[in-house]
Structure 1
């Protein structure tokens, strides 16, 4: 069973519905204590809505005693995540 969600090229409000559905399915499938990996290898763009989605994803994961980590983050995207202090909530690899 895979616990990886492939992130879209652009992670903004337009991605919210699909992302929320994937996250809910993943949390339901893996149950409590899951570690969900968000693979950002293709992600070129994230805006404030995308950051908000990550914060909400963290809250949903925490409510099921699970965690989220982002992996394969490009330097420009990582810089944005760090500026938003997301590393305090979500592991950034």
Structure 2
């Protein structure tokens, strides 16, 4: 089993404005290899741009033989991700 290499703390609002910082964090985590956990304890909002960022990041992590895992999701973002069927491609703890 692959170990979690990195934990990325997600912002309160995860949308297009988060993309630069998030992509940089993913790139740094990919260098370590392994699984990447997205700690969503503070995340209260996600939109379609945020979901797009998750999908693209998931492809990069899988190409690196790792898994993207989301943890500590609050009910509102969890519901939005559920509507987008994200749990089919990203592990949600």
TM-score, structure 2 normalization: 0.93
| SS in structure 2 at match of 1:3 | strand
| SS in structure 2 at match of 1:59 | helix
Q: Which residue of 2 aligns with 1:70?
A: 70
Aligned residues: 90
Q: Which residue of 1 aligns with 2:10?
A: 7
Instruction: Provide the aligned C-alpha RMSD in A.
Output: 1.2
Q: Which residue of 2 aligns with 1:44?
A: 44
* In structure 1, distance between residues paired with 2:5 and 2:89: 22
Please tell me whether the aligned partners of residues 69 and 91 of structure 2 are also in contact (alpha carbons under 8 angstroms). yes
Q: How far is 1:2 from its partner?
A: 5.8
Q: Which residue of 2 aligns with 1:60?
A: 60
Which contiguous aligned blocks of 4+ residues in structure 1 show a shift greater than 4 angstroms? Answer: none
Q: How far is 1:35 from its partner?
A: 1.1
TM-score, structure 1 normalization: 0.93
